[in-house]
Amino acid sequence: MHCYECSLVNESREAVAICHHCSAALCEKHLYEVSDPVTEVYPLMRTVVLPKKARLLLCGRCKTALAQRQSRCEDWAGVER
């Protein structure tokens, strides 16, 4: 499979990942790896962030769009590739 972002600019690169959000195939240049907090909801509706974070692979467009959510902004700022 070839990278979707590359195909938009008439380039052709082998895809190494799929965007978690839009399912676009992505090459190394166009993928973003962010850490995805894993939460657990305890009784009394208390949401707790667990110590280990999951991996989430995103394209540039989805990363920007999803980072609009306040809670994730801070978390994703430090993991720009």
Residues found near Zn ion in the complex (CB under 5 A): 3, 5-6, 13, 19, 21-22, 27, 29-30, 59, 62
Residue 58, φ and ψ in degrees, nearest 5: -135, 155
Cβ closer to Zn ion: 40 or 80?
Answer: 80
Work out how close the CB of 38 gets to Zn ion at its nearest, in angstroms, rounded to a whole number: 21
Work out how close the CB of 23 gets to Zn ion at its nearest, in angstroms, rounded to a whole number: 7
The answer for 44, left when phi > 0, alpha when psi is -120 to 50, beta otherwise, is left
CB-based contacts of 52: which residues, under 8 Å, 6+ apart?
38
Work out how close the CB of 22 gets to Zn ion at its nearest, in angstroms, rounded to a whole number: 3
